[in-house]
Amino acid sequence: MSGIIFDLDGTLIDSAPDIHAGITAALRQENLPVTTFEQTRSFIGRGVPALISQVFAAKGIAEEPDLVARLTARFHKIYQTAVNLTLLYPGAEACLRALHADGFQLGLCTNKPEKPTLAVLDHFGIKELFSGFAYGDGPYPCKPDPAPVRHVTEMLHARHFLYVGDSETDATTAQNSGLPIALYTEGYRKAPVDQLYHDASFSHFDQLRAIIDRLVPLPE
């Protein structure tokens, strides 16, 4: 049996518009300068604490503990249900449904917190396709630490695994976990593809099945 473990933001979904809207609203509530969309997009992938820290650094704001805590709380309140501006990448849902129907075990390993993750999965009606989950606020370090990937592999009934992600964080996560990775090139990656650890790359989900068939065995 084979398991396919997916990243979420920048891999299955383009959530940057919702994340930017949320952090903009939180900053304005604190009367702080806001980041541009492109700045916010570049901060996605390492979890909410890293996002907040990068926002503060970009705007030259001192990370005073009380201010960080207030801004984080404001952002979380908005972020928990932020789905209206988020889109699935073209072909992602069809690919997931086909893999699930063919007997692959699917897992999700994201640095996004649990509540907004489940909100977006429910919004698109795809939560039931996954059998294992790891979140950015789980009882383990965030990616690129291998612990969340190991958590997902323990939840899946599989012997072989492939990781699918889009970013520097995902490439390092797969490398740290000893897993092959298919790199989605249309997400939030900043470095050139050839500078990142990967076994294959793809620009549309129509291309992923051929990669999977090459890198991991078919379900028994």
Residue 1 has a pLDDT of 84
Residue at which a domain ends, from 43, 58, 79:
79
Q: Is 122 assigned a catalytic role?
A: no
Cα 61 to Cα 35, 82, 191, distances in angstroms: 12, 25, 27
Q: For residue 193, name the pLDDT band (cuts at 50, 70, 90).
A: very high
Distances (CA, A) of 114 to 57, 134, 142: 26, 8, 12
**Confidence label for 45 from pLDDT (cuts 50, 70 and 90):** confident
CATH number of the domain that 146 lies in?
3.40.50.1000
Asked if residues 38 and 113 have their Cβ atoms less than 8 Å apart, the reply is no
Is the per-residue pLDDT at 18 higher than 70? yes
Q: What percent of the chain has pLDDT over 90?
A: 93
Residue 220 lies inside a defined structural domain of this protein: no
Say if CB 119 and CB 8 are below 8 A apart.
no
pLDDT in tens, 110-169: 999 999 999 999 999 999 999 999 999 999 999 999 999 999 999 998 999 999 999 999
Q: Are residues 155 and 167 in the same domain?
A: yes
* Any domain includes 159: yes
* Per-residue pLDDT at 218: 75
CA angle 192/195/196 to nearest 5° reads 100
Catalytic member of 7, 9, 14, 170: 7
Stated as kind and residue range, the H or E segment containing 107 is strand 105-109
Q: DSSP letter for 33, please.
A: P
Provide the residue range defining the domain that includes 121.
2-14+87-215
Phi/psi at 160 (nearest 5 deg)?
Answer: -125, 145
pLDDT at 220 (0 to 100): 63
User: Residue 11 above 90 pLDDT?
Assistant: yes
Per-residue pLDDT at 109: 98
Domain count, the chain: 2
* Domain end call among 57, 79, 101: 79
| 151 and 192 together in one domain | yes
Whether residue 78 contacts residue 22, with contact meaning beta carbons closer than 8 Å, is answered with yes
